Structure 1
Amino acid sequence: MLYKWAKPLSSILAGILMHGLCPAALANTTTVEQVANDIGTNHIPLASIALILPMRSGPLGSAADALRSGFLAAYERDKGGLAVTIIEAADTPAEMLSAYLAASPKFDILVGPLSRTGVTAILKNGQISKPTIALTQPDFSDADESRLPTLLLPIGLSLEAEARQVANLVSTEKGFGKVFVIATAVSWQRRVATAFAQQAASLGLKTEVLTLGMSNGIANQGAMEQLNQRIQTENPTALFVALTAEQAVQVRSGVGPDTPMYGISQLNSLIKSDSNNSLTDLNGVRLLELPWLLTPGDPAISAYPRPIVNDGAARNADLERLYALGIDAFNVTRQVAARNAAFQINGATGRLNIGFGLGTPAFSRTEPRAVYRDGTVVPLDGP
């Protein structure tokens, strides 16, 4: 059994409020919200769930709110006898760890934190006694990823994992050859470039990582000319761009469309409802994208409501991805609550394969392949 049977939710909440999640910080930096459910006061839920998120007033407030909304949208669709309580704490490693340790004895399954520093603090502390579904990947810089604690399952969106999947796609489509890997000095882009290069090398591809100088969002002209000259001289099999969509447009405009270009979901900053916007300069570029944004009409996706956006506000692709992660986080939680040790979910963020509760946790996400066509991102394998 992964966890003990739950106590009545009213007792759980009373215990939190009486004993405090964080003795020195409950009033100011930790809040507890019981989510309405249909269980009734005289029934014991299948499992009690604590969703631990950064405060909405903090720097990760918009991200936390998007994920929370997705989680609750999935909960409202299929509560499955579960009882959910939301705990918001200041997004510092110490506060997240304190909230986690205080919640752990009172809930059956814990979901969170959202920040890498928070998850890493919990991992390093080592006191993981309940199933914990982390919403991001911990920092494995000084730890072995293969030695995750039995009860810790990270399911966060990973740009590095996307890069490795794209390397597989390049290998499949292009075979052997050399790939120019292009990134700026921004840390996430360097991580993505490294992940792609390592995976590509393991598949027999040659790679060279090139740093693109940027100033105020504009690519350095000399660097662009040098890149274009090298492409003409060396004729690489493909370009992998660990860039944003706006940066990739500059590269494509500078070097032309003849060399195939690949990237990750960050190349898509548009929502399908944004009919007035398009990036025709990226036509033909291959990438990955979550089903939530790529195939919104699919019945498994359209079953969930779209996030509410304030009047006049534009939809944000990254926040939509976090909303989709919230949906999948709840559906993973529901499977864990049912004590399924191995399962697959065709989710809002991709096809998830999960093994949890028996030995080292196993998690993989396969995202659909996509391509820019007529300025928008569409399924690569679709019509």
Structure 2
Amino acid sequence: MNRQPQPTRPRIRKDNMTAFAEKRPPVAAPILLLLLGVIAGCAGTPPTPDMSGEPELETPVIAEMAPQGPAELPESAWQAEFSAAERRLAAQDWIGAEQALQPLPDTLVANDLARHHYLLARAAYLRGDYNTVRALLESLPQEPVALALRQLLDNFRRHMHSLAGQYRDSARLGVTQLEYALDPILRDTLKRDIWHNLQRLPATELDSALAEATAAEWRAWLRLARLAADQPGVNALRASLETWLAKHPDHVAAEQLPGGLGFLLAERQPVRKVTLLLPLSGRLAPAARAVRDGYLAHYYSAREREDSDHEISIVDTGLFASAVAAYEHAVASGADLIIGPLSKEAVTQLGRHPQRPVPILALNRIDEPVVHGSAALVQLSLAPEDEARRIAELAFGQGARRALILRPAGERGTRLNDVLRQRWQALGGSIAASATYSSPEAYSASIKTALNLTDSEQRAREVRSMLATNIEFIARRRQDVDVVFLLAGTPAEARSVKPLLAFHYAGTLPVYATSSIYSGIPDPRNRDLNGARLVELPWLLGANPDLREALAAGETGGDSFTRLNALGADAGLLQSRCVQLQAGADALIKGATGLLLLDQDLRIIREPALATFDGSDLTRL
């Protein structure tokens, strides 16, 4: 096929367009789980990997820190006490664990002392006492200890660093563990965790780490992460990976490139036609146009790099009786991959439809299981549930353990509350109090009641009455709260609620929130959110500048729907990098909406970035 003239980037406004670019010769590549292989560009039929042994997304942190691999702990005269403490820790009972260890004497042999300190450190970590954790880990015996104990201690340190946001330290420790880890399962876990933590680092921090690194193995890891962080086109990334492999053929990451990157090196069948199913008419039309424009910005950027060789068709689902009818039209028109639909209702219709000969990258997430079809249905979305889980992890990693949840009444508030509670309690946190408000008038009273200020004021009235004098009184809030989760549905709501915490004597408590507290538009009124921490799309924190500039130049990146621009851009990214999804739970792609992972139900799980308001400005942490 002759190469088409390379176009200049147009102003992206059209609802329908067709474009072609140079094709690569189709060559079969290996295939992943269940139906993923029939996603465009991922054709082939190798064995399906077993995901049953992969870690679940909501594993309790105590379980994550438990022994991995077959290494046996050394025998001990205190085995009964150690086992009892392990059982209590598994049940998140740090008091019971400490009580189980009380019979141990002060003087112990090296292995017993190391295990004793390890279990006490885990108990201290569960209650959020980081000073005690550090003291225990710094006073470990100087003598060498059994390999299994060293493994336990390093696993604990590594997970503690990761949850605290110390991603470089966690990755570096994982590299050290690989030097002595022999069990294949543990080695795979370590490589996955190292890569995940390196991908969490911004490019500037990777550069700093590279400048300081001296160990060859560690430097090679950092160089691999740095070239992936540049987010080049597929061709450039493939060339960089081949160069890295040529320089580091014996590196542990060369055995199987992390994050599914190795699948990019296998030749694949090209996708020839992509159809976008979007509701370009009706109430969702503005949102649909934002998604379309984000996708097209990615598409034209890829064309300039000669990474894109497919035709695009854009179909208005509003012209069809159902999402299934629109899908069947796209299939009949020769689509190799379908991106969309956008609404949850439309995705549900396709999820229930077993006749799906062409793979789908849906742009929403549904709650019910998808009926198996002959092709995959992958779900990419901006689901706030991912953000609720993430703020639970980040707050726990910083030492918070007893939460106050503030949320609006209604289905969304209930849903996010349930997800947050589940993850928070799985980690080992507790809910000290919660407040649900149904109107702006109820904000203050709800917070006041949750903080037990009403009880404090009642006690003051009783004292005044008893003493028959008007004594000076300052209300005292409850003291068993160390973090606030704010699940506000809108920025205006958050700007009203956050200052009330200070008014009600809780201004020093850290506040974590989902991205819904930020409109995506700089606003001086956000100074009322000063200090609040939220998880946000990298797109709104400076990532993907070229795509954002292209959207602005084409007058298509409206401020009101900037997150949907990012969703569209990630749809294009996943289409171009879909072969990486063959890695299953190991797949990891740095997108505009966050780090993108794949779960066993073919849902893309987003890990957004942590940010804070510094005055009225949003800053990445």
TM-score (norm: length of structure 2): 0.48
Residue 593 of structure 2 is matched in structure 1 by 349
Deviation at 1:225, TM superposition (A): 2.9
Matches within 5 A, 1:211-250: 211-214=436-439, 217-229=440-452, 232-243=477-488, 244-250=490-496
1:62 is matched with 286
CA deviations 1:176-229 (Å, max 9, x no partner) are: x32111111132222111111111111111124421131xx4444433432343
**Aligned match of 2:117:** none
Preserved contact between residue 286 and residue 369 of structure 1 (Cα < 8 Å): yes
Distance in 2 separating the partners of 1:269 and 1:61:
19
**1:266-277 → structure 2 map (5 Å cutoff):** 266-271=516-521, 274=522, 277=524
Indicate the residue corresponding to 1:203 in structure 2: 427
Q: Is the 8 A contact 2:379 2:603 kept in 1?
A: no
Equivalent residue, structure 2, for 1:255: 501
CA distance in 2, matches of 1:32, 1:309: 18
Q: How does 1:288-299 map to 2 (within 5 A)?
A: 288-294=535-541, 296=542, 298=543
Q: Residue 286 of structure 1 aligns with which residue?
A: 533
Deviations 1:38-84 (A, max 9, x none): 459xxx974210110012x3101110010000000101111411111
Task: Establish whether residue 161 from structure 1 lines up as the match of residue 144 from structure 2.
Answer: no
From 552, 576, 579, the equivalent of 1:334 is 576
CA contact (8 A) 1:291 1:368 kept: yes
2:16 alignment partner, SS class? strand
CA deviation string 1:102-147 (max 9, x = no partner): 323421111111111110111112222222101110132xx389x8
- Quick one: distance in 2 between partners of 1:310 and 1:224? 45
C-alpha separation in 1, matches of 2:15 and 2:501: 53
Match of 1:15 in 2: none
CA contact under 8 A between 1:71 and 1:326: conserved in structure 2?
yes
**Partners in 2 of 1:188 and 1:148 — Cα distance?**
30
Distance 1:341 1:251, change over 3 A: same
Contact 2:290 2:558 in 1 (8 A): no
Question: Matched residues, percent identical?
Answer: 26
* 1:149–1:360 CA contact under 8 A, matched in 2: no
How many Å separate the matches in 2 of 1:340 and 1:153?
10
Are the structure 2 counterparts of residues 362 and 67 from structure 1 closer, same or farther at C-alpha, using a change threshold of 3 Å?
A: closer
Does structure 1 conserve the Cα–Cα contact (< 8 Å) formed by 2:612 and 2:619?
yes
- Distance in structure 2 (CA, Å) of the matches to 1:129 and 1:212: 47
Indicate if the aligned counterparts of 1:327 and 1:348 stay in contact, CA closer than 8 A. Answer: yes
Residue of structure 2 aligned with 1:315, choices 542, 551, 559: 559
Which sections of structure 2, spanning at least 5 residues, go unmatched? 1-13, 24-268, 454-475
- Whether the 8 Å contact between 1:370 and 1:378 is mirrored in structure 2 is yes
Contact persistence 2:323–2:346 (CA under 8 A): yes
Deviations 1:283-322 (A, max 9, x none): 111110111101x2x4xx11214434999x9822xx1000
- CA distance change for structure 1 residues 265 and 149 in 2, over 3 Å: closer, same or farther? farther
Aligned counterparts of 2:418 and 2:559: Cα–Cα separation in 1 = 30
Is contact 2:278-2:341 (8 Å) kept? Answer: yes
Q: 2 CA distance for matches of 1:320 and 1:97?
A: 28
Show the counterpart of 1:121: 349
Closer, same or farther in 2 for the Cα pair 1:266/1:203, shift >3 Å?
A: same
CA shift at 1:167, angstroms?
Answer: 0.8
What is the rounded CA distance, in whole Å, between the counterparts of 1:221 and 1:344 in structure 2? 43
How many Å separate the matches in 1 of 2:271 and 2:568? 20
Asked if the contact 1:309–1:315 (Cα under 8 Å) also holds between the matched residues in 2, the reply is no
- Correspondence for 1:192: 416
After superposition, give the CA deviation of every residue in 1:238-259 in whole Å (9 maximum; x if it has no partner): 1111102222222222121212
CA 1:186/1:148 → structure 2, altered by over 3 Å: closer, same or farther?
farther
Against the structure 1 CA distance between its residues 58 and 248, is the aligned structure 2 distance closer, same or farther, given a 3 Å change threshold?
A: same
Deviation per CA, 1:268-292, whole angstroms, max 9, x where unpaired? 1242xx3x62412211111101111
- Tell me, in whole angstroms, the C-alpha distance in 1 between the residues paired with 2:270 and 2:558: 39
Offset at residue 95 of structure 1 (A): 1.6
Change (3 A) 1:149 1:266: farther
Judge conservation of contact 1:193–1:209 (CA < 8 Å) in 2.
no
Q: 1:233, CA displacement in angstroms?
A: 1.9
* Bigger Rg over Cα: 2
Query: 1:150, 1:361 within 8 Å by CA — same for their partners in 2?
Result: no
1:70–1:327: 8 Å Cα contact kept in structure 2?
Answer: yes
SS of residue matched to 2:414: helix
Quick check: which one's strand share is greater?
Answer: 1
The residue aligned with 1:107 is 335
Aligned to 2:241: none
CA contact (8 A) 2:356 2:373 kept: no
The equivalent of 1:20 in structure 2 is: none
The equivalent residue for 2:316 is: 88
The alignment partner of 2:618 has SS state of: strand
Secondary structure of 1:377's partner? Answer: strand
Quick check: 1:369 aligned with 2:610? yes
Query: What residue number does 1:98 align with?
Result: 325
- 1:354 Cα deviation after fit: 4.2
Measured at CA, do residues 165 and 340 of structure 1 come closer, stay the same or move farther in structure 2, by a change above 3 Å? closer
How many Å separate the matches in 2 of 1:50 and 1:200?
Answer: 40
8 A Cα contact 1:53 1:112, kept in partner: yes
3-state SS in 2 of match to 1:222 = helix
1:302 aligns with 2:545: yes
Deviations 1:323-368 (A, max 9, x none): 01101101111223x686235322211122348xxx8536332211
Supply the distance in 2 between the matched residues of 1:374 and 1:241 (Cα, whole angstroms).
18
Using the alignment, how far apart are the partners of 2:481 and 2:399 within structure 1?
11
Which range is displaced more, 360-369 or 81-90?
Answer: 360-369
TM, length-normalised to structure 1:
0.76
Larger helix proportion of the pair: 2
CA contact (8 A) 2:271 2:336 kept: no
- The residue that corresponds to 2:215 in the other structure is none
- The 3-state SS of whatever aligns with 1:233 is coil
In structure 2, do the counterparts of structure 1 residues 221 and 168 end up closer, same or farther at CA, with 3 Å as the change threshold?
closer
SS where residue 161 of structure 1 aligns? helix
